[in-house]
Chain A
Amino acid sequence: MRPNSQPIAPIEVDARGLRCPLPVIRLAETAKGKPPGTSIVVLADDPAARYDIPAWCRMRHHELAEMTELPSRPPSGETSNVPTSPDTGGLPAEGGHRGYVRFQVLLQA
């Protein structure tokens, strides 16, 4: 729960291409000194992030508000979901980038 009703724009951490434990370290660096209610969005394609970002939230008592699997990596600068070809059964096309995960973290007191 946010302490006041003012919406706060989320801070984005693009950790795609980084290997463990760097995505979690980038998240922790971003969270440092930020007030409760701050929303941080992390994008990560390291397979360990799907375990370690929830673990960080649990260990630091922050809320993992959302965790969404996204199928492929859009061009840099964009964070929108890119539809995949129906020919590949929803998986990224052969030779394409691996999927990534979008985490939304809500800092708690």
Chain B
Amino acid sequence: MVATAVEHSAILTTGRHHAAAAQDPSLFAEVPVDWSGRVDLRALQDALAVPATVVAAVQCANGEIGTRQPLERAHELCRTHGVPLLVDAMACLGRDPAPEHFDVMAGDARSWGGPGGLGVLVVPARTRWRRPGPVSEIEHGRTDVEPMIALALAAAEAWRATQADRADQSARSSALLRRLRAAADHLPDVEVVGDPDNALAHVLTFSLLYVDGEALVTELDRRGFAVGTGSACTSSTLEPSHVLAATGVLTHGNVRLTLPLNPVAPALADGVSRFIAELPEAVAAVRAHLGAGDL
């Protein structure tokens, strides 16, 4: 099995567990990414060329740093080596045009404003696919539980609404994200993470030198902003986000902004303006608390 080093931990931990259980590290290859989080296609090709490779996982884009993956090229490489490509589209469905280059695609209805608890597996007719375990008669053998019609309908309706609004949503998100990126770039001692040119329009991540990520999240929360962080101090293992680690950026003082969809955040532009106004003060306060104001 092959996966990029920035795949969701649901894929990485499963692959590592499989290799560890068989006491054979070669069963799971993690393909490195560059500074922006983009997969190294040469290394991907080398991993695909290993005999008995059965599947490759490449996400459409990374939900933590926004960087999109070159799916068309990855799919070409997979086809050349006869390896099916699994695309995790959780970060981009409802935001970007739906990916076209995959053999199996996985998604989550929450990505496009649908209900929680509904996963989506897209299996094109060209892909030979069989559900593991005994085959039932439900849904032509694609599942062994009766579908929850209400959930599926709600997800479909949310998909329709999101698709109708997508161009507008994307333009608004891009404009707000450009302002946020400019504001982050102006902070002293900052590393803005990810590919500035080929990334999702609703995710921005940056790391600040001499800042405790948890303290900054708390300070921003006090000011009414809910942000994420990939810094180690907030994780029970003390390990920073594997995505930040794979790109080689500064991992402490990390802030992750995710812009919500329009229907759930009608006053988003005002919130972004207030965030931009308050961010430098919040960062300075957290740095001063650690006595790192003049380093």
Residues of A within 8 A of B (CB): 19-22, 24-25, 28-29, 32, 46-48, 51-52, 54-56, 59
Contacts and interface: CB of A to CB of B under 8 A. Distances in A.
A21 B212 contact: yes
B66 interface: no
A17 B244 CA distance: 22
B249 interface: yes
Counting contact residues on chain B (CB < 8 A from A), the size range is 20 to 34
Given A24-B252, A55-B249, A47 B209 contact: no
A55 B240 contact: no
A48 B248 contact: no
Nearest to A28: B295
A51 B244 contact: yes
A28 B233 contact: no
A48 B191 contact: no
User: By DSSP majority rule, is chain A's interface helix, strand, loop, or mixed?
Assistant: helix
A56 B250 contact: yes
A60 to B, nearest CB: 9
Nearest to B246: A51
B253 A48 contact: no
B238 A48 contact: yes
Interface string B229-258: 001110001111000110011111100000
A47 B212 contact: no
Given A21-B211, A46-B238, A51-B244, 5 more contacts: A21-B252, A22-B290, A25-B292, A51-B248, A51-B251
A62 B182 CA distance: 26
Most B C-beta atoms less than 10 A away, residue of A46, A48, A55: A48
